[in-house]
Structure 1
Amino acid sequence: MLKKLWVFGALICVLQQVNAQKKQDVYYYKNNGQLVSDKDSADFIRIIQEPDSGETNFNLIEIYPDGKKKAIGKVSSVLFSMPVYEGQYLSYHKNGKKESTLFYERNNLTGQAYYFFENGTLRQIIEHKKSETNGPAKILVNYQADSLGHVMVKDGNGHVLEHTSSFNGATIEGDYKDGFKQGTWIMKADMGDKGYKEQYESGQFISGESEENGVRYSYSAIESLPIPKGGMQRFYSYLKGTMKYPADARKNNIQGKVYISFVVDKDGSLDDIKVERKLYPSMDAEALRIIRLSGKWMPGMQHGFPVRVKYSIPISFSL
């Protein structure tokens, strides 16, 4: 018996050594998606590990700072430290209970997605159907319940009244018909004079009106990406006209692209500007310089409200 236990213990040690030898990249993140430099300031840790034997996709493992699992999945590639998901993806609440079961194809959700409350109760079943015209996938809500198990939507039909953590806490209410939003949907924030009212027809967004501190704003899209003032063409013209090719890079005949990331804040200012993929020290510094001088953008919008959005661009150096 003692011999068997010794052999088992030795086998465990070997397996741990093999696993430790796998090549991996480690990233530290805040819950809002911001990449930070160390574990102490991170809300979770993302590990991208080399593929298993016979596999082509990388292993993705996410853990909370206390070591508990946050997510397990597969990715086909990583760009700007952001993964391209493939296959099954499992996520977990901090208490260890399952948060979601998702399936991906080339970073796009496919099939049925299952979402759970922290107490383990099933919250939603959402179906992602591929479009027959190669357009965006159709997203149908087939089931939705509250944390006590009271069903609000069944077989795609029902009325939803739920509290969400969005907008620092808010109540959202509206109807589903055949899996799609239908009619008027209303959001009212817990704090302050903030809310929106949106109109839908068979899941198609028609129009919206948001209100905050007595100011109303009408919008024709649920969300929009940030853009430079004057448009992207003018922005790239600015980059080309402002760039100073570093003398040492020119002397050494160095060309290529520096990848820069930044956050467009709610007021359009650029924050957290950093080099995501380096090329050459003086060229990296020049790319940072011209982005910092580029001025404010038009902020990204969601439901008629400005939001912080992370943005990444390549800056080309060519002789």
Structure 2
Amino acid sequence: MKIKLYTIIAILVTFFSYSQANKPISRMIFLDSLDTETSQGEHLYSRIIKNYFSDRTSYEFTEYYKSGNIKSTGITKNKDYLEIDGTYITYFENGKKESISNYKNKKTTGKSFNYYDTGNIQSEIEYLENEDEFAVNYKVLQAWNKENQQVIFDGNGKFESFENEHYIVNGIIANGLREGKWEGYNKSNTIKFIENYAKGKLISGITTDSNGIEIPYTLLFEKAKPEKGLKHFYDYVRYNFVRPNETEWQNTSGKIHLKFTIEKNATVNNIAIIKGINEKLDQEAIRTIQTYNKWLPGYSRGLPVRVQYRIPITLPSNK
């Protein structure tokens, strides 16, 4: 059945992509675990961007698991990478709905609904307007356990849930916010942590890693960053990007969009072009990023983590 379903998807893509005198309309891409474009068969999931080859302010997209089952659907402002705007729906691979949320200005906003893979509702959450991306920005309004028993009533009760698909956390919710002592562990049960909250704000936390070492922290997440700041990084890119000597490349302008991963040891890896200008300039952009190696790693609950960056490199015309 899964093979047949995936065949149907391929047929639909062909229909979407070639009509009106064989002019391409939509595009299907295959992506790996790092959201990098790859070949069919090596992919983890695929994405269809409707009307990709036309100029629009937004594009409908649908993603599929490798099995062919639907993974997510929504609208993106950028056709080359997801900049979700409006309603975004995700699905478990068994076909059950996983979440319904809304995005505005690259942030989740308003009410969001999460579900168990059985189809039962898990939680109703309200996201708040907040300029600080690491500050408390949501309230838990209602929640249910796996047995479909309600455990949070109008923002109050004891809550246990998955967090970012990696951790299971539990503690008290008061007026929609975390309060007092919270405990958690990762799915493999090799990392545990204890945290203290006041009105949703993290006061302190201690992670115990797989070797039994305790690591204190006061921030849930710290993004990887250049040692000397983002300005130093962008200045480096600006002054070290070398155009080919040919006149045609000297006068070329535009933006090269690329992404890369800062590993746990602060090295740069997995540099990939999202949307380029041409092969020579794209390769120079990759070389420039590779040669900048003065990064500080990202941290999650005191432990180093991989962090992905997505940036544009703007090339002004030399005319």
| Fold-level similarity (TM above 0.5) | yes
In terms of fraction of residues, the more strand-rich structure is: 1
> Judging changes above 3 Å, is the alpha-carbon distance between structure 1 residues 74 and 192 closer, same or farther for their aligned structure 2 residues?
closer
Unaligned runs of 5+ in 1: 1-15
Instruction: Indicate the residue corresponding to 1:274 in structure 2.
Output: 272
2:176 counterpart (175, 179, 199): 179
- Letter in structure 1 aligned against 2:70: K
Instruction: Indicate the residue corresponding to 1:219 in structure 2.
Output: 217
> Judging changes above 3 Å, is the alpha-carbon distance between structure 1 residues 131 and 230 closer, same or farther for their aligned structure 2 residues?
closer
Deviations, residues 167-209 of structure 1 (Å, cap 9, x unaligned): 4xx5422110011111121223454652222221111222222
Unaligned runs of 5+ in 2: 1-13
Which deviates the most, 155-164 or 39-48? 155-164
Instruction: Indicate the residue corresponding to 1:67 in structure 2.
Output: 68
Residues 1:96 and 2:95 aligned together: yes
Measure, in 2, the Cα distance between the counterparts of 1:108 and 1:27: 25
Deviations, residues 49-69 of structure 1 (Å, cap 9, x unaligned): 129xxx964211112223222
Verify the 8 A CA contact 2:243 2:250 in the aligned structure 1: no
- In the TM superposition, 1:193-232 aligns within 5 A as 193-212=190-209, 213-232=211-230
> Judging changes above 3 Å, is the alpha-carbon distance between structure 1 residues 96 and 281 closer, same or farther for their aligned structure 2 residues?
closer
Verify the 8 A CA contact 2:31 2:43 in the aligned structure 1: yes
- Letter in structure 1 aligned against 2:65: Y
User: Any idea what SS the aligned residue of 2:289 has?
Assistant: helix
Instruction: Indicate the residue corresponding to 1:85 in structure 2.
Output: 84
Instruction: Indicate the residue corresponding to 1:308 in structure 2.
Output: 306
Measure, in 2, the Cα distance between the counterparts of 1:162 and 1:257: 41
Residues 1:108 and 2:107 aligned together: yes
- Letter in structure 2 aligned against 1:35: T
Instruction: Indicate the residue corresponding to 1:128 in structure 2.
Output: 127
The structure number with the bigger radius of gyration is 1
Query: How many angstroms does 1:39 deviate by?
Result: 2.6
Measure, in 2, the Cα distance between the counterparts of 1:18 and 1:277: 22
Which deviates the most, 250-259 or 217-226? 250-259
> Judging changes above 3 Å, is the alpha-carbon distance between structure 1 residues 229 and 44 closer, same or farther for their aligned structure 2 residues?
same
> Judging changes above 3 Å, is the alpha-carbon distance between structure 1 residues 288 and 87 closer, same or farther for their aligned structure 2 residues?
closer
Deviations, residues 57-107 of structure 1 (Å, cap 9, x unaligned): 4211112223222222222x116x322223322222111111122223343
Aligned CA RMSD, in angstroms, stands at 3.2
User: Any idea what SS the aligned residue of 2:287 has?
Assistant: helix
TM-score, normalised via structure 1 length: 0.80
User: Any idea what SS the aligned residue of 2:82 has?
Assistant: strand
Q: Aligned pair count?
A: 296
Deviations, residues 199-242 of structure 1 (Å, cap 9, x unaligned): 21111222222232233333232112111223223323433443
Verify the 8 A CA contact 2:285 2:313 in the aligned structure 1: yes
Query: How many angstroms does 1:273 deviate by?
Result: 0.9
Deviations, residues 147-177 of structure 1 (Å, cap 9, x unaligned): 221332221111124566844xx54221100
> Judging changes above 3 Å, is the alpha-carbon distance between structure 1 residues 165 and 291 closer, same or farther for their aligned structure 2 residues?
closer
User: Any idea what SS the aligned residue of 2:286 has?
Assistant: helix
> Judging changes above 3 Å, is the alpha-carbon distance between structure 1 residues 186 and 24 closer, same or farther for their aligned structure 2 residues?
same
Verify the 8 A CA contact 1:171 1:190 in the aligned structure 2: yes
Instruction: Indicate the residue corresponding to 1:142 in structure 2.
Output: 141
Verify the 8 A CA contact 2:50 2:59 in the aligned structure 1: yes
Measure, in 2, the Cα distance between the counterparts of 1:17 and 1:257: 31
Measure, in 2, the Cα distance between the counterparts of 1:309 and 1:98: 28
